[in-house]
């Protein structure tokens, strides 16, 4: 069972988060901290007492925007410890997901927090904590040995587990050590975020460590076209093409995306050919 510290400088939100966490049977204890200084003091005390100590903390549910140090600052400080607690970010801002995953966050939960989404974050934390404890209990230098007669299978990062693994119809998405498969047919458009790509579907979005240029090459035959240096769009998902004051944009569901000048003419031609069969 998890020992949790929740950190948020907005008291009503902190109290709501603590209420939800304490209602989860997988959470042994849940305490709150209303600022970065208090959070660091509690975590330091927990680390000094050791994993089995009375002040132990397994997971920190951490807001990002706070006065003074941000949640990302706290996570970077904790990463310097030998055995830091797991981190789950709880924030109203989607734009920090790349930094969060770089800091090896278990999960990234958006506010307002839904009970079922928080329960999923708790599940992922329990799963990752269990793996960490198994690794710590293994003899030093121990290696996994395949069964007799079995061929050795090399480990691969999840970003290499892509469309080839499911017959070309799905792409693997990792979050907090959990791998899920998203149907490529469900993806409306892809947004570049540095070396990452955010896949947008009707149900939400997923971040993968794959450049958009790589997906552009792989998915060209599936009807995905580049409309901007930041966006790759499924041609069949474009609802409207708009020409206003010399600029071109497309509507994909509720999103309106800018089309760069270098891609505008090609996109118009593709949409015209699609409309005429």
pLDDT surpasses 80 at 180 = no
Q: Residue 187: which pLDDT band, with cuts at 50, 70 and 90?
A: very high
Residue 191 lies in a domain: yes
Q: How many domains does the chain have?
A: 2
State pTM to two decimals.
0.55
Show Cβ contacts of residue 248 under 8 Å, excluding neighbours closer than 6 positions: 241, 242, 258, 259, 261, 264, 267, 268
pLDDT surpasses 80 at 17 = yes
Same domain, 163 and 252: yes
User: What are phi and psi for residue 118, nearest 5 degrees?
Assistant: -65, -40
CA–CA separation, 82 and 143 (whole Å): 22
Domain boundary among 117, 133, 149: 133
Same domain, 173 and 83: no
Task: For Cα atoms 124, 150, 157, give the angle at the middle one, nearest 5 degrees.
Answer: 40
* CATH number for 165: 2.40.50.1020
Residue 127 lies in a domain: yes
pLDDT at 174: 65
Same domain, 116 and 195: no
Domain boundary among 133, 148, 177: 133
* CATH number for 89: 3.40.50.2300
Q: Domain range spanning residue 29?
A: 2-133
Same domain, 103 and 176: no
Same domain, 190 and 253: yes
pLDDT at 198: 86
Residue 263 near residue 227, CB atoms below 8 Å: yes
Residue 264 lies in a domain: yes
Residue 103 near residue 73, CB atoms below 8 Å: no
Mind listing the pLDDT tens digit for each residue in 84-131?
A: 899 999 998 888 888 888 888 998 998 889 899 999 999 999 998 887
Residue 151 lies in a domain: no
Same domain, 167 and 95: no
pLDDT surpasses 80 at 149 = no
Residue 227 lies in a domain: yes
Same domain, 105 and 66: yes
């Amino acid at each position: 069972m998890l020992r949790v510290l929740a950190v948020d400088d907005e008291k009503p939100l902190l109290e709501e988060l603590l209420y939800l966490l304490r209602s989860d049977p997988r959470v042994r204890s849940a305490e709150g901290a209303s600022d970065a200084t208090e959070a660091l003091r509690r975590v330091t005390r927990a680390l000094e007492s050791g994993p089995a100590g009375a002040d132990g903390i397994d997971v920190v549910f951490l807001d990002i925007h706070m006065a003074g140090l941000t949640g990302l600052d706290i996570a970077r400080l904790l990463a310097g410890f030998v055995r830091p607690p797991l981190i789950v970010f709880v924030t109203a801002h989607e734009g920090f997901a790349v930094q969060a995953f770089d800091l090896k966050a278990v999960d990234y939960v958006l506010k307002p927090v839904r009970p079922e989404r928080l329960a999923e974050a708790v599940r992922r934390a329990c799963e990752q904590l269990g793996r960490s404890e198994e690794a710590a209990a293994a003899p030093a230098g121990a290696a996994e040995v395949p069964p007799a007669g079995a061929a050795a299978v090399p480990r691969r990062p999840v970003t290499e587990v892509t469309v080839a693994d499911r017959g070309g119809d799905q792409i693997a998405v990792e979050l907090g050590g959990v791998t899920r498969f998203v149907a490529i047919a469900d993806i409306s458009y892809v947004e570049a975020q540095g070396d990452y790509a955010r896949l947008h579907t009707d149900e939400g979005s997923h971040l993968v460590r794959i450049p958009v240029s790589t997906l552009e090459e792989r998915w060209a035959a599936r009807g995905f076209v580049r409309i901007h240096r930041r966006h790759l769009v499924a041609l069949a998902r474009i609802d409207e093409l708009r020409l206003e004051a010399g600029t071109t944009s497309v509507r994909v569901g509720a999103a309106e995306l800018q089309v760069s000048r270098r891609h505008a003419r090609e996109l118009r031609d593709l949409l015209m050919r699609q409309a005429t069969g």
